[in-house]
Structure 1
Amino acid sequence: MLQQFTQKLKSAAQGHSLLKTKMDALTMRRRALQRELAESRVVLNEELRNGFLELARTNFNVEVTYPWKQKILSSELEPTVLLSSETELIAGVRIVNLKIVREKNANKSGHWSLLRGFQNLRRTSEIFGKVVLMIAQLASMQANLANLAKQIKVTNRRVNALESIVIPRYEESISYIGKELDEQEREDFYRMKKIQKLKRNKGLADA
């Protein structure tokens, strides 16, 4: 029985070490992703500010009589951004990263190039095109952060259970069994000595 508990303690200690390594890897990845997300938000806010400034210039420079907004909204729009996903494994946890693909003909000028203020309109389109990409990437990062936080919480509970419950119980059982075996060994030794003494006394009496 002592050997069984010793083996269980060894397995629990190995599992604890692996889980700690996993939690450390997930925590490092989460911190890196948090920094990346914070930096991306700063850049996104700057791009949005630039985009709305350029949009204001477009509204001012494009012919007032030309309903360019209505033309854009009523025209047949083709997808300009395609998303594909790539899976990354971190300590056994799947992280999905979005890969952004922009079509080559995303920015068609056509008759827009004849408008006064076309350059403003083109720059506005480019800026908000970048904004769409960044929002998609931010959404991917936030989803990954939520997944990492969930996995870290689950792993941390398992680590705490091993540290606070499983390993101490095995250690306590091993200690108890060891004391019982020591006590039994002392009793056996005392009994053996007593038998030897009785045999010696009997031998002396027979002589």
Structure 2
Amino acid sequence: MAVARGGGGQGGQMPPPKLLGGGQIGDLPPPPPKIERGNGHAGGPDGCLVSGGVGVGAKTMMDGRLKGAQKGHSLLKKKADALQLRFRMILGNIIETKVLMGDVMKEAAFSLAETKFACGDVNQVVLQNVTKAQIKVRSRKDNVAGVNLPVFEHYQDGSDTFELAGLARGGQQVARLKKNYAKAIKNDG
């Protein structure tokens, strides 16, 4: 007993599949022939193509892109090196200043204790009579490889208004106190 498959009742035989264009599978056209221009080198007889089917213009463009990328990479490398050098210099200054500040602040605090012992508490007198800061900070930008880095500098504005402080008693201790704290503020490392 034969079972009929497919449509049309043709005794179990299936019709061949149809293609979109209406032809059969065996009716496919052969692939187009590969066209090769030139002799496989840039600037062949017709100068259009090079080996692998890449045009001369495309190769020139890719070479230009490669050179541009290499130049950009080298510029960024130089910039990174300059910033790294500056960072190491700043870090060295910070470490040196930090080590020095321990001794400077210890000396300044000790001179404050000496002054308090000799003159009494002069802090309140100074704080009540001060009008403006004597030492100020100026900020500017330093350009390192196209990057603006802030640089802070101190400067003295005006004269010492407490020049005669401690004249009655403890003048030497007050003078030493002013000198030690000015040294602590101005310590650049």
Can you give the 5+ residue segments of structure 2 that lack an aligned partner in the other structure? Answer: 1-57
| Partner-residue secondary structure (3-state), 1:100 | strand
Greater Rg by CA: 2
Corresponding residue for residue 9 of structure 2: none
Residues in 2 aligned to 1:127 and 1:40: alpha-carbon distance in whole angstroms: 16
Q: Do structure 1's residue 82 and structure 2's residue 136 form an aligned pair?
A: yes
Corresponding residue for residue 37 of structure 1: 94
Can you give the 5+ residue segments of structure 1 that lack an aligned partner in the other structure? Answer: 139-207
Q: 1:15 aligns with which of 69, 72, 81?
A: 72
Quickly say closer, same or farther: Cα 1:107–1:35, change in 2 above 3 A. Answer: farther
| TM-score for the superposition, normalised by structure 1 | 0.57
Write out per-residue CA displacement over residues 82-102 of structure 1, whole angstroms, 9 at most, x where no aligned residue.
222232211111122122111
Higher relative contact order (CA 8 A, sep 6+): 1
Q: How far does residue 104 in structure 1 lie from its aligned partner after superposition?
A: 4.2
| TM-score for the superposition, normalised by structure 2 | 0.62
Within 5 Å, give how 1:141-180 maps onto structure 2.
none
* Letter paired with 2:59: L
Corresponding residue for residue 152 of structure 2: 98
Write out per-residue CA displacement over residues 20-49 of structure 1, whole angstroms, 9 at most, x where no aligned residue.
111111111111111111111122222101
| Partner-residue secondary structure (3-state), 1:99 | strand
How many residues are treated as equivalent by the alignment? 132
* Letter paired with 1:101: Y
Residues in 2 aligned to 1:97 and 1:73: alpha-carbon distance in whole angstroms: 29
Residues in 1 aligned to 2:130 and 2:116: alpha-carbon distance in whole angstroms: 22
Percent identity, aligned pairs only, is 25
* Letter paired with 1:68: V
The answer to which structure has the higher helix fraction is 1
- RMSD (Å) for aligned C-alpha atoms: 2.0
